[in-house]
Amino acid sequence: MTSPWRATVLTIFPEMFPGPLGLSLAGKALSDGKWAMDTINIRDFATDKHRSVDDTPAGGGAGMVMRADIAAAVIDAARADARPDTPVIYLSPRGYPFMQEQARELAGGPGIILLCGRFEGIDERVLQARNVEEISIGDYVLSGGELAAQVVIDAVVRLLPGVAGNESSLAEESFAAALLEYPHYTRPREWEGRAIPEVLLSGDHKRIAEWRREQAEKLTKQRRPDLWQRHRNDKS
């Protein structure tokens, strides 16, 4: 029997998981065995009685830095229980932007090992020595990588086979074709003087598809010119 897609989270706060991942689509899929999750407490690899995993930054400065020997030990332990091709990802504000394409790519693999940073960061040497990829979920700073890890896991899990109730909808949502998603409407037909666009009530599937495409392009142009340029490049 094939093993389910597995997320292994390396963190000093394992009690934060599954958190919201235990609810809704992801939670049901977790209960149904469509994916699996493990947490490893980084403090279990500390070598002193205080279970410390960090130290002062070389060269001085504020904050603390997670030690290379501790981080390496926990990464090695996680890799020992994972398939050899499982990527190790460090959630970091300086990482490459996490995109929908990467979520799809990860969904097609065996799983992920997610290293959640705290403090000022992690010793650079372990990131290089263990071939750790760095990704960011946005241009802002969080207190740690745990929430970012949950975002990444949720983005991937919903793409796994059998998780989404209507998998055909995945092909039309935002970023599916380097476009933002078109607007949605439902009953009542009129609300506070605002009516559902007549084309959506016409029953003409060709016109509806054209309208949705036009709206997706308009929104993308207005809100995400960078994404619009990618869309134009993909078409050329």
Rg of the Cα trace of the chain? 22
Per-residue pLDDT band for 173 (boundaries 50, 70, 90) equals low
pLDDT of residue 171: 61
Which residues in 68-180 belong to E strands, given as ranges? 88-97, 111-116, 121-122, 133-136
127-158 per-position pLDDT tens digit: 999 999 999 999 999 999 999 999 999 999 99
The mean of the pLDDT values for the chain is 94
Instruction: Tell me if 121 is assigned to some domain.
Output: yes
Q: Is residue 147 situated within a structural domain?
A: yes
Reported as a single tens digit per residue, the pLDDT across 71-111 is 999 999 999 999 999 999 999 999 999 999 999 999 999 99
SS3 195: strand
Q: Considering the entire predicted model, what is its pTM?
A: 0.91
Residues 57 and 138 in one domain: yes
pLDDT at 26 over 70: yes
Number of domains in the chain: 2
The pLDDT of residue 213 is above 90: yes
What CATH number does residue 213 fall under? 1.10.1270.20
Residues 180 and 111 in one domain: no
Domain match, 177 and 141 both: no
Q: Are 53 and 45 in contact (CB under 8 A)?
A: yes
Q: Which domain holds residue 209?
A: 172-235
* Residues 76, 23 share a domain: yes
The verdict on 110 and 212 lying in the same domain is no
> pLDDT at residue 167 above 90?
no
Q: Are 115 and 122 in contact (CB under 8 A)?
A: yes
